[in-house]
Structure 1
Amino acid sequence: MRIIPILAIALLAGACSRKTPAPAVVRPVKVATAAGAGLIDKDFAGMATPDDAVNLAFKVAGQVLDVPVSQGAGVKKGELLAELDPRDIELQVAATRSAFEETRSQQQRMQRLLEHEAVSRQEAEAAATRYAQARSTYENTLDLLKDTRLKAPFAGVVERKYVDNFERVQAGQPILRLVNPVTSTVQFTLPENALPLLRDSSTRFTVAFDNYRGAAIPARLKEYVETSSDASGFPVSLTLENPDPARYRISPGMSCTITMLSADPVPDAVSLPVSAVYAPAGGGTYVWIVGAGDRVMRREVTLGELFGRDRVVIDSGVAPGERVVTAGVYQLREGERVRILN
């Protein structure tokens, strides 16, 4: 009988059926320590806008005699930009001057007669009134004659020409647009939830232009409008405190990034990387807290605003100093032990 070999085979089969338990997997993770939000920075796209810009127009109607400047040309303050044919106005000046001189002569004669009591005081006063009216009309037509010439109110660049020579124009019709080529103003659009931060005296701004990468120019609040007709945001204007205007020449139309540095309105808020937020399909927003024994606990949080490049404010749910998982948050389970890589 072959009892021994059969027994050996049975023992071997039993040994193979008992598997060695697999060691518990300790998942490696990265963590961040929650810190008070303090000052948070937000970036907005902006553009430089002109300090001085104006659409110039004549106060009188007429035919354009000459526009001696071209589009894009630089002009000095007081330089002639456009001129109307003055003949119609010159005829008015001649007529009003004749009436003025006539009423002046009558007023002087009435004054002499009044001194000799040859006319009544009422007649003399009526002559004086007619003289004053004629003088006013004459002076007004002289001003109209001056208004047939448009001169540059400041040094700048002709951004646009709206009319050509010999074209007939109406009073107030734009003739050309003059813009100062150097500016210290930038403008951007602020969302409504950030509007209260503008009233905080601790809010600060810096501006970085695409043409001058790496240079952060400080700026101060100039003005803002608390209305938004198209619901796209509120326009905000800043004044640049340019430390080196010769090096950083800012012209209207240059694109820039405005960074607004402000205090978070929630006093106990903390900040974390966006990657720490766990939002499962079932709903809610959570983070994984690393507790005693390096085991993780899921905790629900209330999110604040995004800021910087990759951070978010946690308004409630996390205390400063707690360790929070920032990578691999969707692979963790409650109570799982982790190994911290950083």
Structure 2
Amino acid sequence: MIKKAQVLVLFMLFSALPVNASEINALSSVKIETLGELAPAISRRFVGRVDAVSNVNLSFQVAGHLINLPIQQGRLLPKGSLLAELDSTDYKLALEQAKVRLKQAQRDVDRKHLLLKSNSVPRAVVDEAEDQLHLAKIAVEAAQRNLSYTRLDVPFDALITRRLASRYVNLAAGTPVVRVQDVSELRAHIGVPEDLIRLVNNPDLIQAKLLLPNNESTFIALEYREHATEPDPVVQTYQVTFGFERPQALNLLPGMTVTVVVTADPRLHPVEQLDVALSALNTANDGSYYLWVFDPELGQVTKRKAKIGNINGDRVTLLSGAIAGEQVITSGGSHLREGMKVKPFNHF
């Protein structure tokens, strides 16, 4: 058996053998990132709501008996299509009556002009007759307009949402008859936090897309339309609205929820602003942050204190600690030591 003294001697002999320092300090591989090389683009996913351009309750501007309501809920009608129609008999009679009175007023003016030439009537009588003629013309125009109001047409490409009245009922002017939605295009509304709402000041540098349900490989490109400047009182987000053409092959209806991906162009960020992978940050005992900066010439790492700004997903704004062009370690930082030699490996 080997005695304890012999074991101690053997340990001391092996400890005295020369060992290659690089074998002690070398880490098998680390992942590095060159600062400023990756564009600091912001890409976020939001749960959005599809909506129509507008929702309108349509009604007649005159009272009458509803005799025609040839619509079906859920149908898409082109602009100018008939929605509803009132019995126009009374309005046609009113128009004929107004036309007769116009003819009477015209004959009266002509007769009094002849009398004026022979000085049989004063000028004031002629002026009064001309006023009556003008009022008769206005009455004809009003009667024609009221007759046109007995027909309710679609003012835009509309989706019939709901019938609000039934045939053969007497309607007062302004009574809602049908609710329609303007679907000349659809809108997607999302709630954006305050750290991103500033980006909409440059809408041309924002790209947004709507992911189709159950198939995220295909999407619909969105165009910026408007944004609210007051936050929601409950969730404190700002509503941003995008527009898109209504897809024919997909039954996408107002009120449905969708996924919207918004990507901000890197040009929206200040030139001097750098960001780095969140995994590159290490926390010291005092709660401060530090980075491991890689020197490609020496093949070793150096510890640097770092200050950070806003966190965007898996990226963080770097305020100090490294400059553009320097390489930082983005994985394995807890196993590094000052001056340790490492082998970069960028194919994780």
Q: Superposed, which structure 2 residues align to 1:294-309 within 5 Å? A: 294-306=300-312
Quote the offset at 1:40 in angstroms.
1.1
CA contact (8 A) 2:227 2:238 kept: no
Question: 1:165-204 maps to which residues of 2 (within 5 A)?
Answer: 165-167=167-169, 169-179=171-181, 181=183, 183=185, 186-200=188-202, 203-204=205-206
| 1:15-47, Cα deviation, whole Å (9 max, x unpaired) | 5997977x9686666322233154514234345
Separation in 1 of the partners of 2:237 and 2:119? Answer: 77
* Whole-angstrom CA distance in 1 between matches of 2:138 and 2:264: 56
1:87/1:203 Cα in 2 relative to 1: closer, same or farther (>3 Å)?
A: same
Structure 2 partner of 1:259: 263
| Alignment-derived partner of residue 118 in structure 1 | 120
Map of 2:240 onto structure 1: 235
Cα offset for 1:151? 1.1
Secondary structure class of the residue paired with 2:138: helix
Structure 1 range deviating more: 119-128 or 315-324 = 315-324
Q: Residue type matched to 2:277 in 1?
A: P
How far does residue 84 in structure 1 lie from its aligned partner after superposition? 2.9
Q: Which residue of 2 aligns with 1:3?
A: none
Task: Look up the match of 1:326.
Answer: 330
Aligned residues: 328
For residue 73 of structure 1, report the CA deviation from its aligned partner: 1.9
The range that moved more, 87-96 or 51-60, is 87-96
What secondary structure, in the 3-state scheme, does the structure 2 residue paired with 1:119 have?
coil
Pairwise mapping of residues 9-24 of structure 1 onto structure 2 (< 5 A)? 11-12=5-6, 15=9
How far, CA to CA, are the matches of 1:130 and 1:337 in structure 2? 105
Determine what percentage of the aligned residue pairs are the same residue.
Answer: 20
Contact 1:301/1:318 (8 A) holds in 2: no
Aligned in 2, Cα 1:86/1:100: closer, same or farther, shift over 3 Å? same
User: Are the equivalent residues in 2 in contact too, given 1:294–1:338 (CA < 8 A)?
Assistant: yes
Q: Which amino acid aligns with 2:114?
A: R
Which AA in structure 2 matches 1:263?
A: R
Instruction: Give the distance between the partners of 1:19 and 1:312, measured in 2 at CA.
Output: 50
1:135 aligns with 2:141: no
In structure 2, C-alpha distance between the alignment counterparts of 1:162 and 1:285, rounded to whole Å: 64
The AA in structure 2 aligned to 1:304 is N
Does the CA contact (< 8 Å) of 1:183 and 1:250 recur in 2?
no
Stretch deviating more after TM superposition (27-36 or 124-133): 27-36
Matches within 5 A, 1:53-64: 54-64=56-66
Q: Which moved more, 1:181-190 or 1:257-266?
A: 181-190
Q: In 2 relative to 1, CA 279–73 (structure 1 residues): closer, same or farther, beyond 3 Å?
A: same
> In the alignment, does 2:217 pair up with 1:214?
yes
Alignment of 1:124-163 (within 5 A): 124-163=126-165
Q: How does 1:42-81 map to 2 (within 5 A)?
A: 42-45=43-46, 46=48, 49-50=51-52, 54-81=56-83
CA shift for structure 1 position 201: 7.7
Q: Report the AA paired with residue 235 of structure 1.
A: V
Matched, 1:276 2:280: yes
Structure 2 vs 1, CA of residues 305 and 163 (structure 1 numbering), >3 Å: closer, same or farther? Answer: farther
* Amino acid of the structure 2 residue aligned with 1:324: V
Write the distance in 2 (CA, Å) between the matches of 1:281 and 1:128: 98
- 1:168, distance to aligned residue in structure 2 (A): 5.1
**Structure 2 residue runs without a partner (length 5+):** none
- Cα drift, residue 238 of structure 1: 4.8
Corresponding residue for 1:35?
Answer: 35
Q: Is the 8 A contact 2:51 2:187 kept in 1?
A: yes
The amino acid of 2:237's aligned partner reads S
* Change beyond 3 A, Cα 1:120–1:233: same
Q: 1:10 and 1:194 mapped to 2: Cα distance? A: 69
Classify 1:122/1:325 alpha carbon distance in 2 versus 1 (closer, same or farther; 3 Å): same
CA contact (8 A) 1:266 1:315 kept: no
More displaced, 198-207 or 66-75?
A: 198-207
Distance 1:283 1:207, change over 3 A: same
SS in 2 for 1:301: strand
Contact 1:208 1:214 in 2 (8 A): no
- What residue in structure 2 maps to residue 107 of structure 1? 109
Structure 1 residue 147: Cα displacement: 0.7
How far apart in 2 are the matches of 1:194 and 1:340?
38
In the aligned structure 2, how far is the partner of 1:183 from the partner of 1:42? 25
Q: Is the 8 A contact 1:303 1:316 kept in 2?
A: no
| Residue equivalent to 1:4 | none
Distance 1:321 1:84, change over 3 A: same
Measure the CA separation in 2 of the matches of 1:258 and 1:250: 23
SS at match of 1:183: strand
Cα deviations by residue, 1:79-134 (Å, 9 ceiling, x for unpaired): 21112344564565466456545434433332332233221111111111122123
Q: TM-score, normalised by structure 1?
A: 0.74
Structure 1 residues not aligned, in runs of 5+: 1-7
Give 1:210 shift.
Answer: 1.2
